[in-house]
């Protein structure tokens, strides 16, 4: 989830700082700061309005093993997209079924959401969520997405695409589709049908098709801006219209082999987007 309200961030940061009793800058307010083992609920019992009143920043998520896993994934995600590692913090306690990418340059991953992802799709689901959140950092850094909509859909679907790209890359999670699909069904399950709401993230079917397109683009080495260009070219012109458009001439700056490969998958992408492909069929794609 992308946080698009800087003025709320500023207010939240101010509240957070005065609510901490250690008189130090809270690590959430300082992306370069490190979390300390002594930072606990008793030290700072408020994060910001996106989290429960009893949520707090902790030094681990679930346990040390899961913390090490997520931190390692975060480093690999940055490596795939050739950026500095995004500061990652952990929200613990009640009201933490969320993960948020902040415009100030960091991500907070909630422990309740982590446990949900872990139980429903395994560790790959947790890695996918983190890749989605880092995808929002790529958007912040590069003034993306290039597609503008009245809701958050384009922003969220592109982040889903970035996640799919990471899950596929050999230097990323390097997952087969059989391994990847159950994980993404977790995120698709929290898609929504509030298509006119400003916070609309895309329907479950759209989120699956966006992830699948990103996964397919993972067969190629793309810069962040090139990923954005290719993702929306195929999504806007082929996936959303609901039919393969033979009348479109391929832009010169799109790789010919990539174009042929994506078009060979376009009927399945269309069916995923329309909901014609069931969850089970989705998981059995190659």
The pLDDT profile of the chain, 286 residues, written as one tens digit per residue, is 766 543 333 333 333 333 332 323 333 433 333 333 333 333 355 799 999 999 999 999 999 999 999 999 999 999 999 999 999 999 999 999 999 999 999 999 999 999 999 999 999 999 999 999 999 999 999 999 999 999 999 999 999 999 999 999 999 999 999 999 888 788 788 788 998 899 999 888 888 889 999 999 999 999 999 999 999 999 888 777 755 566 678 899 999 999 999 989 988 888 888 888 887 888 888 8
What is the per-residue pLDDT for 3? 66
DSSP H helix total and E strand total for the chain: 11, 4
What is the per-residue pLDDT for 247? 67
CA distances from 15 to 98, 203, 273 (A): 20, 35, 42
| Partners of 63 in the β-ladder | 61
**Residue 8: count of CB within 10 angstroms of its CB:** 13
The end-to-end CA distance of the chain, in Å, is 28
Q: Where are the domains of the chain?
A: 43-122, 144-284
Tell me how far apart the alpha carbons of residues 116 and 121 are, in angstroms, rounded to a whole number. 8
What is the DSSP-derived secondary structure letter of residue 12? H
Model-level pTM?
0.83
């Amino acid at each position: 989830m992308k946080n698009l309200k800087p003025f709320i961030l500023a207010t939240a940061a101010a509240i957070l700082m005065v609510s901490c009793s250690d008189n130090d800058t809270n690590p959430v307010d300082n992306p370069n700061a490190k979390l300390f083992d002594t930072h606990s609920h008793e030290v700072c019992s408020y994060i910001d309005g996106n989290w429960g009143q009893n949520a707090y920043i902790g030094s681990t998520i679930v346990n040390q093993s899961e913390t090490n896993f997520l931190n390692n994934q975060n480093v690999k995600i940055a490596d795939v997209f050739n950026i500095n590692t995004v500061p990652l913090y952990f929200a613990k306690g009640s009201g933490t079924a969320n993960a948020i990418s902040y415009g100030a340059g960091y991500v907070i991953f909630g422990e309740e959401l982590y446990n949900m992802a872990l139980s429903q799709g395994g560790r790959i689901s947790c890695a996918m969520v983190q890749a989605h959140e880092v995808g929002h950092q790529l958007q912040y850094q590069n003034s993306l997405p290039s597609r503008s909509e009245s809701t958050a859909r384009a922003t969220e679907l592109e982040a889903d695409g970035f996640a799919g790209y990471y899950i596929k890359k050999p230097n990323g999670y390097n997952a087969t589709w059989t391994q990847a699909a159950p994980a993404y069904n977790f995120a698709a399950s929290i898609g929504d049908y509030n298509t006119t709401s400003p916070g609309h993230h895309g329907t479950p079917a759209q989120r699956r098709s966006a992830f699948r397109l990103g996964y397919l683009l993972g067969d190629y080495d793309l810069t962040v801006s090139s990923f954005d260009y290719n993702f929306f070219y195929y999504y806007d012109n082929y996936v959303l219209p609901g039919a393969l458009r033979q009348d479109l001439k391929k832009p010169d700056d799109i790789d010919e082999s990539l174009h042929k490969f994506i078009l060979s998958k376009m009927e399945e992408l269309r069916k995923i987007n329309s909901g014609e492909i069931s969850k089970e069929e989705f998981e059995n794609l190659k």
